[in-house]
Amino acid sequence: MKRKTCFIFLSFVFLFCSCKKTQTVDNANVLVQVKGRMLYQSEITALIPRGISSADSLLLAENYIKKWIKDALVYDVALRNLGDDKDEIEHLVDEYRYSLYRYRYQERLLKERLSANIRESDKLNYYDENQDKFKLDKGLIKGLFLKIPVNAPGLSEVKNWYKSSSEESLEKIEKYSVQNANIYDYFYDRWVDFDEVIGNIPVRLADTNQFLRNNKALEVEDSTYCYLLNIKEYIPVGNVAPYDYAEAQIMEMLINQRKMEFLRNFENELYNDAIKGGDVIFNKESTDVN
């Protein structure tokens, strides 16, 4: 329904532009064309955020289209008037394209090959030998968080269920949340950033560590929602992060530590293979040193 509405107002914008004596184009997906450059309906559709009104969507689309047209016109004028500067710009564009391809490929290579070469024992050893690097500047928790409209049916029952981590209670909460909860976040099985969770709740905490020491549950209500948080486990600020939480960071550190040597060896291998295979041809006249 939202997608259909989006296309309706985009069609309106298209007709609006046509009424102002702009030249129409044959391609149904092309919204507007300027000096051979084309703006497609799909680009505008992707731009529109979900959940905003049709009026706001129309205004956003129209403003974007106008800016796109102005940018295209300025680009065309610049192209016709820069003269010799165009050669320098094209050279810079070629250099950037060359660097971008090289960078993207090297990043993929590092993830695919170097990541595969890092063993679990490498990560564990690095974690054990570098504990100071993994001290937390935020608290971590395991638990459950719910955001439910205050007028939702059976809310009083949920307030009893969420404090229990029994399988029966969790099944009831899950079934209930499908129909009634705006947020149902189950994280009994993983560590999450406490600040990210508490950021969803309209409450201010003076001392995170003190709150986590003294509270296993939190209930807050405003005029619209009820917020329920159950904390099964916590790790306070200043402690060393558990390995399973730090593992992704450890992998990144090890990759960064080894990538220069890996890329240097990779480039040397490419170079030597290209020389042996005759893919690199030197001009003798230009390379001879008198």
Nearest to 197 by CA among 139, 242, 149, 137: 139
pTM: 0.60
Residues with Cβ within 8 Å of 134's Cβ and at least 6 positions away in sequence, in order, are 127, 240, 241, 246, 249
pLDDT of res. 44? 87
| Coil/strand/helix, residue 53 | coil
E strand or H helix at 224 = none
Q: CA neighbours within 13 Å on the CB side: how many for 9?
A: 20
pLDDT of residue 76: 87
What count of other Cβ atoms lies within 10 Å of the Cβ of residue 184? 16
User: What pLDDT sits at residue 290?
Assistant: 47
| Residue 189: φ, ψ to 5° | -100, 5
Amino acid at 253: M
Tell me the mean pLDDT per 10 residues along the chain, length 290. Answer: 47 49 60 88 86 86 91 88 82 90 88 86 96 95 96 95 92 95 96 95 92 95 96 96 96 89 89 88 62
The Cα–Cα gap between 259 and 257 comes to 6
Q: What is the DSSP letter of 110?
A: I
DSSP 134-148: GB-SS-EEEEEEEEE
